[in-house]
Amino acid sequence: MTPRGFTFSATNAGVKSPAVTGLDMGLIFCDTDAVVSGVFTTNLVKAAPVLVGMDLVARGTVRAIVANAGNANACTGKEGIDDAMAVTGEVAARLGVGRDQVIPLSTGVIGVRLPAARMIDKIPRLTQGLSDDVQVFARSIMTTDTFPKVACRQAGNAKVLGIAKGAGMIAPNMATTLAVVLTDAKVSKQLLDNIIIKAISHTFNAITIDGDTSTNDTLLALASGYVEEPVAAVEQAITEVIQELALMIVKDGEGATKLVQITVNGAADNAGAKTVAMSIANSLLVKTALFGCDPNWGRIIAAIGYSGVTVNPDKIEITIGGYPVVVSGIEAPGFEENTLYEILKKPEISIDILLGSGSGEFRAYTTDLSYKYVEINSAYRT
């Protein structure tokens, strides 16, 4: 279900090391000027491709995206910018488009320069191998991901396709990791900007795996403009694709065994509800309790209390998997630890919080924290 105008390719360039043999460099090409929107990491330490991408997105249209896994090209100074520009420049020359029409994306190890020469050597293969096979591109940007993340929707005659990567270093404050949303709908830049900003507020900005905001987080949206469809239908399709990608990322959290949905209602405002939800979602004690099926609800109410949001402890209610755990700030009547223990064994868990302070609400998504997460991240470079 490829939107009209877009083609894909991928190859191995040994980006992390010549010993790596899997796909690690990908290309998306649009056969016409595509309207582009983007959101980028709020981390003050921004990778070279983020700095380059932010400038190119502001110009309004692009023709291609070149991405790599295995090397973030972050904290590499002016040389990192030069390396990114060398790669995009060669892609542009091979495709016959302007240098300022190719956006770079990178993910991987921080502090190491791109092997630009190795990557440039593989660009002819990338540009000659373009097809409608989106899966090759999706696989080329994976790092610790266990599966490629692709989602699609129909909006009348228009199509929307999303691709993302991410499993760790997930606590975005813009979008998350690397994600690309493509549509053949005709959409103005201002409208596309508005759709993306609105959509990420309750999708990519509502997920967390480990509390770390990457130096490279980027979400790009491109519209080739071949199909005219009502704005509302296009917006809904784009939002649904982004939501599906966000949940895929949480489900694939490094070492995760559980998907956890945290819904906060009754805060003074939505911002307060989000702060409380993310406080619980990022709590290491809550996440380890979830992994161990430990019915220790005290960790949740503690995370509410230290969130920084003013709450009345006597009004807090907590329900887990539909089972009342806390009522009026104390253990619910008839609460049984064994019942909650059995609920916590499930692969998907809902935690509902009622604060009783107003009408603010927010829903966040997170994972448990397992031994495997430590194993993966303690040996990421070694």
**Residue (of 95, 34, 88, 35) closest to 66 by Cα position:** 88
Interatomic CA distance for residues 30 and 113, integer angstroms: 28
- The string of DSSP codes covering 43-80 is -SS--HHHHHHHHHHHTSEEEEEEEEEEE---S-HHHH
Is there a contact between 102 and 66 (Cβ–Cβ < 8 Å)? yes
| The pair of three-digit structure tokens given for residue 256, joined into one six-digit string | 């995760």
Give the end-to-end CA distance of the chain in Å, rounded to a whole number.
39
Interatomic CA distance for residues 14 and 297, integer angstroms: 47
**Residue (of 26, 25, 42, 24) closest to 215 by Cα position:** 42
Strand partners, 180: 163, 220
Burial label for 308, CB within 10 Å (0-12, 13-18, 19+), is exposed
Query: Exactly one of 61, 76, 107, 176 is catalytic; which is it?
Result: 176
* H, E, C per residue of 252-275: CCCCCCCEEEEEEEEECCHHHHHH
The verdict on whether 176 is a catalytic residue reads yes
Interatomic CA distance for residues 213 and 259, integer angstroms: 19
Mention every residue, 6+ apart, whose C-beta is less than 8 A from residue 105: 49, 53, 65, 66, 67, 68, 141, 178, 180, 216, 218, 220
| Cα three-residue angle 130-136-140, rounded to 5 degrees | 110
Interatomic CA distance for residues 153 and 162, integer angstroms: 9
Q: Active-site positions?
A: 176
